[in-house]
C-alpha cells in the first residue's frame, strides 16, 4: 500500500507537450507510472511520448475518455491556477502542481476551491511524490529511492533527494515520499500528509524535513505527539543560521517577528518525540536510534 499514488493511478499530465512536461513525463512513464492522457489546449488529437499517450484540449475531455483520476501540472505560473481549477471541475481527486512562481494571492481562492470540492492538492512549487516500485509523479529522481516502510514528507525538493539518498544508501526504504512545496500558500500541509501516513499500514516510521518560516512544523508536531506516540519519527530543519526578515530559498522560508525560527521548530518536534538531525545524512542513524528496524 502507499499514499496518494500507486499502481492503480491513472495520471493526466497538464502541459505534456512542453519541454518540461515531456521530459518529466518520459521519466515518470519509464518508472512505471500509468500516464493515460496529456492535456494542452490546441494540441488535442495529437499523441505524446512516442505515440503512447493521447493529448486532449481540456481536462474534462481527458477524464471522460481515459478515466484519469490524478493530475500533474507543468503549466507556466500565469496559467497554473486555472489548470488546477479545471482539474477540480473535471472531478480529478489528486492534483500535483509542480509549477513555481505562482503569486500567493492567486493561490488563496484556488486552495479554497480545492478544499470545498473534497479534492487534494499537493503544491504548488513541489517536486511531487514517489511510492517506490509503484509510481512516481513529478520530478523526484527515481534513482534515489528504495522500496520500504518509512514515510517521508518535506518542504524542500533538494533536501528530500539528499535525505532519501542517505536512507537508501543505509538500506532503509521508503513507503511514499511526498514533497509538499515551500510556498506560503500550498494545498496540503505536513499535518495532512502525516494523517495519511498514520492510516497507511505499510508506513512504520516517519521522516519530516522542514525549514524556517510559518508554523506548519509546530502544528504537525502537536498532532504527532498525540497520534504518533509509538511511531519512530525523525526530522531535520533547514535554515538554522538564517537572519530574521531575510528569505532563504523558498518564498515561505522567512522568519518574521521572531516566529518561524528553526529553534522553535526543533523544540516543538523534540517535545513531540521526534529525534532532530543536525544534517540530512544523520537521519538513517536516528531512525535506528528511534527503534526502526525495517
- What residues act catalytically? 250
DSSP string for residues in the chain: --SS--TT--EEEETTTSHHHHHHHHHHHHHT--EEEEE-TT-TT-EETTTTEEEESSHHHHHHHH---EEEE---TTTHHHHHHHHHHTT-SEEEE------HHHHHHHHHHHHHHT-EEE-SS--EEEETTTEEEES--GGG--EEEEEEEES-HHHHHHHHHHHHHTT--EEEEEE--SSSS-SS-HHHHHHHHHH-TT--EEEEEEESSSSHHHHHHHHHHHH-TTS-EEEEEE-TTPPTT---SSTT---BTTBS-HHHHHHHHHHTTPEEESSGGGHHHHHHHTT---
Amino acid at each position: 500500500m502507499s499514499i496518494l499514488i500507486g499502481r492503480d493511478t491513472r495520471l493526466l499530465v497538464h502541459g505534456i507537450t512542453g519541454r518540461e512536461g515531456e521530459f518529466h513525463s518520459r521519466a515518470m512513464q519509464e518508472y512505471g507510472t500509468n500516464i493515460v492522457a496529456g492535456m494542452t489546449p490546441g494540441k488535442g488529437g495529437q499523441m505524446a511520448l512516442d505515440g503512447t499517450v493521447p493529448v486532449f484540449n481540456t481536462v474534462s475531455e481527458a477524464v471522460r475518455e481515459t478515466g484519469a483520476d490524478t493530475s500533474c501540472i507543468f503549466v507556466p505560473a500565469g496559467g497554473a491556477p486555472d489548470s488546477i481549477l479545471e482539474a477540480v471541475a473535471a472531478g480529478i481527486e489528486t492534483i500535483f502542481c509542480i509549477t513555481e512562481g505562482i503569486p500567493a494571492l492567486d493561490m488563496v481562492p484556488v486552495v479554497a476551491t480545492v478544499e470545498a470540492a473534497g479534492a487534494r492538492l499537493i503544491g504548488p512549487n513541489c517536486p511531487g511524490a514517489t511510492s517506490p516500485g509503484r509510481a512516481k509523479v513529478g520530478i523526484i529522481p527515481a534513482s534515489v529511492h528504495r522500496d520500504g516502510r518509512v514515510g517521508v514528507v518535506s518542504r524542500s525538493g533538494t533536501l528530500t533527494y539528499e535525505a532519501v539518498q542517505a536512507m537508501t544508501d543505509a538500506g532503509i526504504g521508503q513507503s511514499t515520499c511526498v514533497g509538499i512545496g515551500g510556498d506560503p500558500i500550498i494545498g496540503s500541509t505536513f499535518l495532512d500528509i502525516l494523517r495519511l501516513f498514520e492510516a497507511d499500514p505499510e508506513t512504520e516510521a516517519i521522516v519530516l524535513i522542514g525549514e524556517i518560516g510559518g508554523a506548519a512544523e509546530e502544528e504537525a508536531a502537536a498532532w504527532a505527539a498525540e497520534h504518533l506516540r509509538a511511531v519512530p519519527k525523525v526530522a531535520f530543519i533547514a535554515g538554522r543560521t538564517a537572519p530574521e526578515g531575510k528569505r532563504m530559498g523558498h518564498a515561505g522560508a522567512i522568519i518574521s517577528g521572531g516566529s518561524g525560527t528553526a529553534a522553535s521548530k526543533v523544540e516543538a518536534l523534540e517535545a513531540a518525540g521526534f529525534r532532530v538531525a543536525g544534517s540530512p545524512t544523520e537521519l538513517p542513524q536516528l531512525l535506528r536510534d528511534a527503534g526502526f528496524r525495517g
